[in-house]
């Protein structure tokens, strides 16, 4: 498919849920507190959640097809706590889960859909603590196995997206450790793993990822538009996007992430109310003053509910996962705001 494609992550709030416990959503991210299953080794409960995640994934993919969405990020908890056990050995529902995931993969392949994942921040291959690295490797292998269960050949098309993690005051040394950890991964996991730029100046910019990691092992870089605003490292948005584009192999579409500032979004909403109501002084409006104070507390890096602006791909045809709170509804609004971009 030509043209830029938009996708969203983990949850579909429009579809509704088969269970009130899930908050009226269809989701690929059901999980459980460790205290609820670990003491008694309640693998059956985890298996039920994993099966429900896989079944909901198929429901979401069918909805996506009907609505022209060809990109979706699954939750990092498709099989909850899977780095604590071997799923095929302990989950009573394993064969059902595997069959359900394979059906998802078949449906995605038949309908030109890309499925990706973004494991949590605890996968730190560059940690100075050996036990953390070993645990990270196991977790990443489990994520790769989920794609194996879907029947996907190892490829960056079904990317496993992670951050490098902390630099520990030494980017060069951390990069060396990270590459050493990467070398311990299976070939199938290596062929799926990609890295993403950070939103803090002490961590990893696109340029750093390129110089310290990609140049050594040829790993793709996921460009995050929003993160780049906080850590440009001398590159314009266009320069960073296009530098990241050079790291993706031929035949695999560059995948990016996009969001906007939640603080700015909420400030615009409040400013609009003040302008419409001709309010000059918030001190006379306690409710609005309280709202302003709450807005001031929002972290700069917090993601917005929707995308209200235009996305510039600088002439590239790419995939964009929207990291917005409104999920698929946010995708619709972004699509309306970027009609010239989306084919």
| Boundaries of every domain in the chain | 5-260+305-337, 262-299
In 3D, which of 6, 103, 112 has the Cα closest to residue 59? Answer: 103
Q: At what angle do helices 130-149 and 94-110 cross, to 10 degrees?
A: 70
Q: Token pair 């972004």 is at which residue? A: 334
257: left (phi over 0), alpha (psi -120 to 50) or beta: beta
Query: Is the entire prediction scored with pTM above 0.75?
Result: yes
Report the pLDDT value the prediction gives residue 22, as an integer from 0 to 100: 58
**Arch. (CATH architecture) of 5-260+305-337:** Alpha-Beta Barrel (3.20)
- C-beta of residue 289 within 8 angstroms of C-beta of residue 283: yes
Task: Give the pLDDT of residue 1.
Answer: 56
Note down pLDDT in tens along the chain; length 343 residues.
Answer: 578 999 999 999 888 755 455 566 799 999 999 999 999 999 999 999 999 999 999 999 999 999 999 999 999 999 999 999 999 999 999 999 999 999 999 999 999 999 999 998 899 999 999 999 999 999 999 999 999 999 999 999 999 999 999 999 999 999 999 999 999 999 999 999 999 999 999 999 999 999 999 999 999 999 999 999 999 999 999 999 999 999 999 999 999 999 999 999 999 999 999 999 999 889 889 999 999 999 999 999 999 999 988 999 999 999 999 999 999 999 999 999 898 787 5
pLDDT of residue 340: 79
Reduced 3-state DSSP string for 206-265: HHHHHHHHHHHHCCCEEEEHHHHHHCCCCCCHHHHHHHHHCCCCCCCCCEEEECCEHHHH
- Residue 163: the pLDDT is 97
CA distance 60 to 72: 9
Residue 11's DSSP bridge partners are 27
Q: What is the pLDDT of residue 309?
A: 87
Return d(Cα 70, Cα 331) in angstroms, integer: 12
Question: Which tokens hold the place of 283?
Answer: 């001190």
Cβ–Cβ < 8 Å for 170, 122:
no
Contact 331, 307 (CB under 8 A): no
Predicted local confidence at residue 18, as pLDDT: 53
| Cα 197 to Cα 203, 222, 226, 248, 281, distances in angstroms | 8, 7, 10, 15, 40
| Residues ≥6 apart with Cβ < 8 Å to 220 | 156, 159, 194, 195, 214, 244, 247, 248, 249, 252, 254
pLDDT at 3: 84
pLDDT at residue 52, as a whole number = 94
pLDDT value at residue 284:
87
Neighbours of 286 (CB within 10 A): 9
């Amino acid at each position: 498919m030509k043209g830029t494609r938009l996708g969203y992550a983990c949850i579909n709030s429009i579809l509704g849920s088969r269970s009130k416990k899930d908050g009226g959503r269809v989701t690929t991210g059901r999980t459980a507190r460790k205290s609820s299953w670990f003491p008694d080794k309640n693998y059956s409960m985890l298996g039920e959640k994993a099966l429900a995640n896989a079944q909901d994934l198929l429901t979401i993919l069918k909805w996506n097809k009907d609505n022209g969405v060809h990109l979706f990020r699954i939750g990092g908890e498709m099989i909850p706590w899977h780095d604590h056990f071997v799923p095929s050995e302990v989950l009573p529902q394993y064969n059902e889960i595997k069959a359900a995931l394979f059906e998802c993969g078949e449906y995605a392949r038949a309908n030109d859909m890309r499925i990706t994942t973004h494991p949590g921040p605890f996968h730190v291959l560059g940690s100075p603590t050996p036990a953390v690295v070993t645990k990270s490797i196991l977790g990443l292998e489990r994520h790769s196995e989920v794609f194996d269960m879907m029947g996907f050949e190892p490829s960056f098309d079904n990317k496993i997206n992670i951050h490098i993690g902390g630099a520990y005051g030494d980017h060069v040394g951390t990069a060396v450790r990270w590459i050493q950890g990467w070398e311990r991964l299976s070939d199938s996991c290596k062929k799926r793993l990609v890295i993403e730029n950070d939103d803090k100046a002490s961590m990893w910019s696109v340029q750093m990822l390129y110089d310290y990691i990609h140049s050594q092992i040829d790993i793709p870089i996921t460009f995050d538009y929003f993160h780049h605003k906080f850590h440009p490292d001398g590159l314009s948005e266009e320069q960073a996007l296009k530098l990241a584009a050079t790291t993706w192999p031929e035949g695999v579409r560059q995948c990016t992430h996009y969001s906007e500032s939640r603080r700015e979004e909420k400030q615009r909403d409040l400013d609009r109310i003040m302008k419409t109501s001709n309010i000059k002084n918030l001190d006379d409006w306690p409710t609005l003053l309280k709202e302003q104070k709450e807005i001031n507390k929002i972290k700069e890096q917090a993601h917005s509910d929707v995308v209200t602006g235009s996305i510039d791909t600088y002439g590239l045809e790419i995939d964009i996962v929207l990291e917005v709170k409104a999920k698929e509804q946010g995708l619709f609004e972004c699509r309306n705001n970027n009609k010239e971009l989306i084919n």
